[in-house]
Amino acid sequence: MTLIKKIVVGIIAVTFAIMILRETSSFDLNFYQSYSNSSFSSTINTNSSFVSWGDMPKKPASEFNSQDLSIVLLHGQDTIYKELNKLMPIIVEIKYSQTGSLWVPLYKSVNFSAVGIPSFDARQKLKGEFQKEAYKIGMSGQLKMDGQIVIKGICSHKEALKLVRAQIIEKFSSSIKEEFAKQSPEYFQAMSHRQPSVKN
């Protein structure tokens, strides 16, 4: 084998070794540019109805606002985003798909779509003094996003997947916050009676 062939083989071997390490370990090497575009729609509907407090002690409604929201985004069994504050979590179960390969080196072009179904955390249980509420609250609807991301340069499959997820997380979480910013302090007061208990 000539010296030139040895150099070429060596370069190829090192390149493959780096690619394998990037995908199977914490070692990461990325140098890329990316751009994306997307469309988004939201059909979230909220409702509430007043019922008697009885003698249950409570914090005044004025102490609560949309900044107290807790949001958890789930994809299958994975929690891909979690922001826990004073109020019981709004859980968004996301299903998303993509066309195009994130494994292609140097240039990746992927179309993706995501649908999220928001709900209050059904796993919560009311205890003792929290068995009466000022408001009965509910929520229905869905969030839908279609987008494309183009990545040019050295970018691992793991990093490309993070970029797609980041698009979905940013759009869904900001949409939830915008929607609930319209609610009254009394609505948030009712949400405060169930405390977050989401596992890591």
Under the banding of pLDDT at 50, 70 and 90, the label for residue 196 is: very low
Judge whether 38 and 61 are in contact, CB under 8 Å.
Answer: no
Query: Is the pLDDT score of 134 beyond 60?
Result: no
Mean pLDDT of 162-176: 92
Confidence of residue 172 (pLDDT cuts 50, 70, 90): very high
Pairing of strands 70-75, 78-83: antiparallel
> Which residue's entry shows tokens 């989401």?
198
pTM: 0.73
Domain spans of the chain? Answer: 29-191
